[in-house]
A and B are shown apart, each in its own frame.
Chain A
Amino acid sequence: MLVAAFTWTEFAQQLAAGIREGAIYAGLALAIVIIYRSTRVINFAQGEMATFTTFIAWSLMNQGLTFWEAFPIVLAIAFTGGVVIERALIRPVEDAPVLTIVIITLGLALLLNGLMNLIWGGANVQFHGPFSTRTIDIGGVPVSVQDIGIVAVSILLVALLALFFRFTKLGLGMRAAAVNRDSSRLVGVRVSWMLALGWGIATVLGAVAGMMIAPVVFLDPNMMQTILLYAFAAAVLGGLDSPVGAVVGGILLGVTITMLGRYVGFIGSTLKLPAALLLILVLLLVRPGGLFGKVAVRRV
């Protein structure tokens, strides 16, 4: 069952690849958790929204902009898009049962997927990322510059967000709105706009994840679907209302899956996701709230 050949070099390479995968999952998992914390809604359209914004980036680059020129424009579009979607689709039904809202996000996912097929055809397109694909030598191990770049950008983004939530008034307001809506209203937090802001930030996170992964996996409308599944798994692993958990869960999951896929022959590439979910199930049986989540202690 186990692969015969094992070298430390390859182990390190797999580890690096796993961390890179994990960084992508972490970004999307964080987006999922931000929306879930404040609204108890799982946004099934998170992946499609990310792919959509990545296609926009591709179009802009086709018009002659460089990646870094297009980057801030795409982020602005992503933020606005997220806010608009929340205002237009989610706000009108905010008192509806959660399942209803989740189905709406599902419909949105389908809609976006179809639109992408319509607008950009079904063909794979080449997305030229900002990082070169050459490898550099770190302690004897060849590591791809791209991988380093992806991880670096993800870390930077998460750090910025952490600072935002911890130290700014707006960030505090968002956290308050997620934790206790009624009291937030009493102190003057505009809860409704906090939710919209959450969607905006989540969409930006997705856009970055999409633009990071597109050079690696080829840009096409279905690009984010499997990644979204892994991101859900990561978010659950970390505990659905813990942003820290989402990031940690993402990295852990990325590394574990890569290692499992490479070193446990039985799993190969087809059973990676089921294997991951099985592991998470085992963890959840022991810690029902995930790694960092809170489950109301209930002794019945």
Chain B
Amino acid sequence: MSLLELRNVEARYGPVKALHGVSLTIGGGELVAVLGANGAGKTTTLRAISGTVRRTGDVVFGGKALPRRPEAAAKAGIAHVPEGRGTFSDLTVWENLRLGAYTRRGSIKDDARRVFGFFPRLEERRDQQAGTLSGGEQQMLALGRAMMARPKLLLLDEPSLGLAPLIVKEIFEALERMKGQDGMSVLVVEQNANLALAHAARAYVLEVGTVVVEGTSDELRANESVRKSYLGY
């Protein structure tokens, strides 16, 4: 049984329709990529899952229909790292992490230790204002915040955006380790298709709000139109 299933999801921003019926699935412990050009609807797809955009259609998570309110997604175990990180810049690193665990009860010490294990730089900057961190560190913070929730599904929007390749490598390696540890699933939106396919087992390609190609990474890499349009060779 799949962890998450989208059936014909549509979404709009005011009068403009961004998703024209997107269907996809993710299983437990999978890393799945969503590829596509600017404006294809990748970010909107993630928003539709986390409930931060108006949608119609079914989103089934863990066998149950997911209510449309954003708090519901967070409570159900979905953590969304938005485009641009969405860190609480005026709050400290530690407070950002605390917020990640907002929906959980009980002690968060172990989770914090784990996050600091992945990203030691965050521990160094524990009491610093999040807004003073570099781009790469903020991305780590955003990821760490998501991890604090012990999510079943992690939604990642453009993690590599604006970051140096070395930092990106660090972040994706951390992602691989996280995925392995709790059977967490990751749905990652990436414009850097090569990078995404290097780590993802499967991928979906979106164009103008619908899925046009889907398959395993190997299948996509073999697909000529995908290669030409998104992989650059």
Contact = CB atoms under 8 A, between A and B. Distances in A.
User: Are chains A and B touching directly in their complex (CB below 8 angstroms)?
Assistant: yes
Interface residues on B, range: 20 to 34
Contacts of B75: 188
Contacts of A188: 70-71, 74-75, 102-103, 149
Interface residues of A, number: 17
B68 to A, nearest CB: 12
Contacts of B191: none
Contacts of B52: 182, 185-186
A189 B102 contact: yes
Given A172-B95, A176-B99, A185 B88 contact: no
A186 B88 contact: no
Contact of A169 (B86, B87, B100, B102): B102
Interface string B14-51: 00000000000000000000000000000000000011
A298 to B, nearest CB: 16
A179 B89 contact: yes
A176 B71 contact: no
B54 to A, nearest CB: 13
A175 interface: yes
Given A172-B95, A182-B52, A182-B82, A187 B102 contact: yes
Interface string A173-213: 10110011011111111100000000000000000000000
Given A172-B95, A173-B102, A183-B82, A189 B71 contact: yes
Nearest to B100: A187
A38 to B, nearest CB: 13
Most chain B CB neighbours (cut-off 10 Å) among A184, A185, A187 = A187
A185 B102 contact: no
A185 B100 CA distance: 11
Most chain B CB neighbours (cut-off 10 Å) among A179, A188, A294 = A188
Interface in B205-221: none
Contacts of A294: 90
Contacts of A185: 51-52, 70-71, 74
Given A173-B102, A182-B52, A187 B149 contact: yes
Contacts of A190: 71
B70 A176 contact: no
B88 A176 contact: yes
A176 B82 contact: no
B145 A187 contact: yes
A179 B89 CA distance: 8
A294 B102 CA distance: 27
A10 B102 CA distance: 53
Most chain B CB neighbours (cut-off 10 Å) among A172, A173, A294 = A172
A182 B80 CA distance: 11
A186 B157 CA distance: 13
B99 A187 contact: yes
Interface string B57-89: 000000000000011001100011010001111
A179 B71 contact: no
Contacts of A189: 71, 99, 102
Contacts of A169: 98, 102
A182 B74 contact: no
A188 B148 CA distance: 12
Contact of B74 (A175, A176, A179, A186): A186
Interface string B85-119: 01111110001001110110000000000000000
Contacts of B80: 186
Contacts of B145: 187
A180 B102 contact: no
A142 to B, nearest CB: 45
B100 A179 contact: no
Given A179-B89, A182-B86, A172 B103 contact: no
A275 B89 CA distance: 37
A176 B145 CA distance: 13
A186 B78 CA distance: 9
A127 B18 CA distance: 61
18 contacts: A169-B98, A176-B88, A176-B99, A179-B90, A180-B86, A180-B87, A180-B88, A182-B52, A183-B86, A183-B87, A185-B52, A185-B71, A186-B74, A186-B82, A187-B74, A187-B79, A188-B75, A294-B90
Instruction: Across the A-B interface, give the 10 residue pairs with the lowest CB-CB distance, nearest first.
Output: A188-B74, A185-B70, A183-B86, A188-B103, A186-B80, A187-B102, A179-B90, A188-B102, A187-B99, A188-B71
Interface of B: 50-52, 70-71, 74-75, 79-80, 82, 86-91, 95, 98-100, 102-103, 145, 149
Given A182-B52, A186-B82, 12 more contacts: A169-B98, A172-B91, A172-B95, A172-B98, A176-B91, A179-B90, A180-B88, A183-B87, A183-B88, A186-B74, A187-B99, A188-B149
